[in-house]
Structure 1
Amino acid sequence: MLTASSSADSPAPGSVRVATAQFFSGEDVDANLQTVVGYMREAAAAGARLLVTPENSNRVRTFADRDDCFAKSETIDGAFVSGIRAEAAALGIFVVVGVDLRAETAPHVNIAQVLVGPTGDILHVHHKTVFWDYEYTLFTPGTKQLEVIDTEIGRLGLLMCADGIVPEVPRVLALKGAEILCNSLNSRGPDEMRVHEPLRAIENHVWHVASNTVGGPADGYPWTGGSQVISPLGDILANAGETDEGLVWADITPATSFPKNLADIGLLDDFRRPDLYAELVAPVEAHAVDYGPVADGAPSRPLKVATLQVSWYHAQSWTISRAVGQITYAAGRGAQLGVLPELFCFAPGEVEADVAAAAALSETVLATITAAAAEAGLWVVVNLVEADGDAYFSTAYLVSGGGEIAAKYRKAHLSEAERAWATAGDEFVVAETPVGSIGLMIGNEIWLPEMARILTLRGAEVIAHPTSWDRVEAATQAATERTEENRTHLVSTSRTDNPAGIGSQIVVADRFIPGQPVALMRYPTAIWSRTGFEENIFYELDLTDAHSKVQGFHLDPVGTRNPALYDSFLESVVNA
């Protein structure tokens, strides 16, 4: 059994020690209670004030049907929860435990988390709102409003597993002032530890304590563990690994969840645009997106895309000529859509130094790119500086294969540095074109789940993304997540001199196919290039795949949202 700590013997002043346990719960509920109690005692002995345990800590889900699930699930005043309450009071600690709880009427059962305080009182019960696949056949999704619980150790927000596969639940909790996300999981997916959990911490600037089931029968697909404590910057302070049962803990400072100052971006409140997010709280049926799987026999709709990885190198004239060469070369390789990097023709710092000159040059470059696109017959996305009166915009242009401006998007979300020279746009763009429905996104907007979600709800099949990765996780976590949570293709072309030092990337909206490995159902395929020089990715996407929104037989991470719970998307962060 694993026991580990990343911290000193006693927490520093202003910090609190939090613990997460991972184990496998069998069919013996009494034995499972003793397992939880054992970890509570171990956590308390280590000086932890909070312990988080996995989803369904009470019992493995070997249920025949809904009626069987109801008969074998717990009640809030039953022996399992009562035992945890008594031990919490004896130890004086907070516990967040995952329990499948009967609803008032059969055969409904809620997948729940129970927050028990150090006096043994039940402080909150969270009902999981989004399910993983088979869970829809046994349980009833929660419809309770999401709450943040103010405690002596910090403000706690509760979520469970697939609640974090979608961005809405953790975002709402953060907007309501959560300092610590307590996440109980029952997952076999490698994406939880690697993508969902750290990204939800980073994009919401919040502490994240996650506890997942581990192991299981030797001849079965294992639960993946990976229980961990994550900082608002995405740093992993403690991790229990993917194979062994055990407890880990770390010291955290909940108050540092505020101010929500995102690295290289600035304050989250200044970056977000709640005035543009009304679509996120509209009814599910109000949107253009197709939900669920595609029909059997639906024809393929191939689109050959290319990352045109070139940015300022040696001189502006050389850089521009290389972009024209990339367009010609990509068309010769059969590409139909090419994406150039963020502000590709400018040296770092050049736009900020003289935005008027940058806008003037951009007019010339746009004319050059449109002429090259027309000659090659290639659709091209290019990001340049646009002048409009006294205002300047970071604008992505979608140039048709005939050399026309088919659409343009003025970047709506600006970092602190960008606000020094740019004006924010006020409209998101999905262009209906002969080569597909193309959504436009620029640079660090990859960190905003609101952005890709709205483009998806408007029917985007491909999101074209000129960028300059600001950190490795922008590609490995944020970009991956945007496709996983939306099932929309993403083509990100990065500057060769990007701060992260990594290449461009295409993330594919893999269509669910019965028999598909769980990992692929959840963790979309990504194709990478190297960085620092002109290297393209040429890839044939199937646009029909972007209309298959399911990750399994039942889970549609777009269609299973519950907008009635998301009013906070239209508000600013509740600060400390």
Structure 2
Amino acid sequence: MTDTPVRFAAAQFFSGTDVTANAARCVDLLTEATAAGARLLVLTENANRVRDYVSRQQCWELSEDLDGEFVTTLRAACARLGIWCVAGVDVRAEAPDVHISSLLIDDRGELRHVHRKHVLWDYEYTLFVPGDEPLTVVHTELGRLGLLMCADGIVPDVPRLLALQGAEVLLNSLNSRGPDEMRVHVPLRAMENRVWHVSANTVGGPADAWPWMGGSQIVAPDGTVVAAADEETEQIIWADITPAVARDKTVPGLADVFAWRRPDLYADLLADLADVPVAAMYGPAPADMAPMPLDVATLQVSWFHNRDWTVTRALSQVKYAAGRGAKLGVLPELFCFRPGEVATDPAAAARFSAQVLARLGEAAAEHGIWLVAHLVESDGERFYSTAWLLDDTGAGALRYRRTHLSDDDRSWATPGDDLPVADTTIGRIGLMIGTEVWVPEVARVLAVRGAEIIAHPCSWDRPEAAHIAATERTEENRVHLVSAARLDNPAGVGSQILRADEFGPYQPIALMRYPSAVWSRHGFEEQLLVRLDRREAHSKMMGHHLDPVASRQPAIYGPLAGLSLK
């Protein structure tokens, strides 16, 4: 069944305080979706009732039971209409605990699965209790379905666990006021896992209040938006999708997104929350922590005319950046080689790289600047795609051999075996190379190891790598990300620096969850010079209550590191 098209739908609307009216509205939406030929309709989070609670006790009193009127009404409608439904419902546990829950109801009215939201959004921690059970994929005639809810998708772990366990379609009930859902989270969780993603968000609300953002979407495994709602109107969207398409994890020209994972390197993600370096960075930055400014420059230069001239231009960029006050400069991916050149003769590339690395070391010492350079390294008969961090004396402070090789790299490079972070006088720095931005575990491990800054030599493979994937890596980990792009990158996007953006009073919702960025133009040898404050990376808060790093649940993350569920 799952290798034939199935019509999935999503409805966005606003639930008020009248639970009976909300139930009737949901039945109307189910009826409309059925008439449109949909087999499954996703409803929003807390479809049962708007949250105007002033205490946990009131929240419990006004929430639902699984055998209560609201759920029973939905089940009866699904059975009568012959349609599946996913609905967000705030469900009582033992008083005063309430779980934000997603209910999967089949076309016979049977309650097939209850997902309890694992990651709560900010104020929700004051009213609700997060779920902590292992994630479950439900095998159905419509496909392999994985349920998540809103903030579950603003971090990589829940969608990744569902996808690794075989989910073909993610069904996401949201209650979001942020513009980042439809622009970042929903499409990226589809792309990085190669799954379908159906999202239904609340829309509208009181006239003089920050509105719920709507923007419900159905996104294909390659990131194509096949159906989308606007950000203002109550409406239903639908699309015919073939769930089995999600079983092919291949991104043409890049990799199989699951086969290129390195579970052997992700043990840090299973460690107890208190036993990792980032534990000292949880929560807000200490009130007495002074600013820790660092001037960082992207040295946007890559192969032009010939290799010698390219190196000369790079050295000129180093001198110029240091003269402007930069303390750290980052060069692009394999900057001194033509695209594809290394693969034709990696031994020659390694010999030339050694010369370039020596000259960069001399320049670093002469100008008193730290540098990140991505070149080719030889070790016996093996070759590595290696990024070096050189200190301001020209000495090597960190060497990172690329661990996640793309299809192009595999023809010549040997994968590395570590994701190191260097504790230096200019901060805790991790390195990431090129398309590794698409692997959520890379930045996640570096963050868990305490990185304040991730330096990222790159050649953007598509615009979404910068505007979606890189944005998310900063947002979900609260680290600075410095991406220096080749002049000739396929995406036609310039270098980018993303800030960790310390949360503070009066910060708009958009900035809580959508890190600020600075870009340079594509194709020009220009520099970004940005003063980053390392203190920002010591504030992991996304709002008053949510720490997206400390809210991880390592006890159930075994599949991330290749372990089977018990």
TM-score (norm 2): 0.98
| One of 198, 201, 204 as aligned partner of 1:209 | 198
2:317 maps to a residue whose letter is Q
Is residue 194 from structure 1 mapped to residue 188 from structure 2 by the alignment? Answer: no
Flag structure 2 segments of 5+ consecutive residues without an equivalent.
Answer: none
CA contact (8 A) 1:264 1:470 kept: no
1:287 maps to a residue whose letter is V
CA contact (8 A) 1:269 1:573 kept: no
Runs of 4+ in 1 over 3 A off after TM superposition: none
Q: Which residue of 2 aligns with 1:175?
A: 164
1:292, 1:565 → 2: CA distance?
A: 22
Is residue 65 from structure 1 mapped to residue 55 from structure 2 by the alignment? Answer: yes
1:247, 1:296 → 2: CA distance?
A: 47
Q: Percent identity?
A: 59
Q: Which residue of 2 aligns with 1:121?
A: 110
Deviates more, 1:552-561 or 1:265-274: 265-274
1:530, 1:192 → 2: CA distance?
A: 26
CA contact (8 A) 1:177 1:573 kept: no
| One of 554, 558, 564 as aligned partner of 1:567 | 558
CA contact (8 A) 2:3 2:242 kept: no
2:163, 2:149 → 1: CA distance?
A: 15
Q: Which residue of 2 aligns with 1:246?
A: 235
Is residue 336 from structure 1 mapped to residue 319 from structure 2 by the alignment? Answer: no
CA contact (8 A) 1:340 1:466 kept: yes
2:71 maps to a residue whose letter is V
Q: Which residue of 2 aligns with 1:304?
A: 295
Corresponding residue pairs, total: 563
2:202 maps to a residue whose letter is T
Q: Could you give the per-residue CA deviations for residues 154-210 of structure 1, whole angstroms, max 9, x where no partner exists?
A: 000000000001100000000000000000000000000100000000000000000
CA contact (8 A) 2:171 2:199 kept: yes
TM-align CA RMSD: 1.3
| One of 84, 88, 93 as aligned partner of 1:94 | 84
Q: 1:138-149 counterparts in 2 under 5 A?
A: 138-149=127-138
Secondary structure in structure 1 of the residue aligned to 2:407:
coil
Q: Could you give the per-residue CA deviations for residues 264-299 of structure 1, whole angstroms, max 9, x where no partner exists?
A: 322123210001111111111111111000122321
Q: Which residue of 1 aligns with 2:421?
A: 430
Is residue 135 from structure 1 mapped to residue 121 from structure 2 by the alignment? Answer: no
Q: Could you give the per-residue CA deviations for residues 85-126 of structure 1, whole angstroms, max 9, x where no partner exists?
A: 0010111111000000001x1000000000000110000000
1:539, 1:12 → 2: CA distance?
A: 49
Q: Which residue of 1 aligns with 2:155?
A: 166
2:143 maps to a residue whose letter is G
CA contact (8 A) 1:207 1:254 kept: yes
1:212, 1:281 → 2: CA distance?
A: 31
| One of 361, 366, 382 as aligned partner of 1:375 | 366
1:377, 1:303 → 2: CA distance?
A: 14
Deviation at 1:444, TM superposition (A): 0.5
Is residue 510 from structure 1 mapped to residue 501 from structure 2 by the alignment? Answer: yes
1:228, 1:138 → 2: CA distance?
A: 28
Deviation at 1:12, TM superposition (A): 12
Q: Which residue of 2 aligns with 1:35?
A: 25
Deviation at 1:144, TM superposition (A): 1.5
1:362, 1:297 → 2: CA distance?
A: 44
| One of 26, 37, 45 as aligned partner of 1:47 | 37
1:296, 1:70 → 2: CA distance?
A: 35
2:167, 2:560 → 1: CA distance?
A: 14
CA contact (8 A) 2:453 2:481 kept: yes
Flag structure 1 segments of 5+ consecutive residues without an equivalent.
Answer: 1-10
Deviation at 1:572, TM superposition (A): 8.5
TM-score (norm 1): 0.97
2:25, 2:424 → 1: CA distance?
A: 58
Is residue 17 from structure 1 mapped to residue 7 from structure 2 by the alignment? Answer: yes
User: Residues 12 and 205 from structure 1, CA distance in 2 versus in 1: closer, same or farther, beyond 3 angstroms?
Assistant: closer
Q: Which residue of 2 aligns with 1:4?
A: none
2:564, 2:227 → 1: CA distance?
A: 28
1:44 maps to a residue whose letter is T
CA contact (8 A) 1:175 1:571 kept: no
Q: Could you give the per-residue CA deviations for residues 415-464 of structure 1, whole angstroms, max 9, x where no partner exists?
A: 12211100000011111111111101100100011000110111100000
2:365, 2:433 → 1: CA distance?
A: 23
Secondary structure in structure 2 of the residue aligned to 1:136:
helix
Secondary structure in structure 1 of the residue aligned to 2:259:
helix
Deviation at 1:573, TM superposition (A): 11
Deviation at 1:349, TM superposition (A): 1.1
Q: 1:393-404 counterparts in 2 under 5 A?
A: 393-404=384-395
2:527 maps to a residue whose letter is N
Is residue 108 from structure 1 mapped to residue 92 from structure 2 by the alignment? Answer: no
CA contact (8 A) 2:2 2:142 kept: no
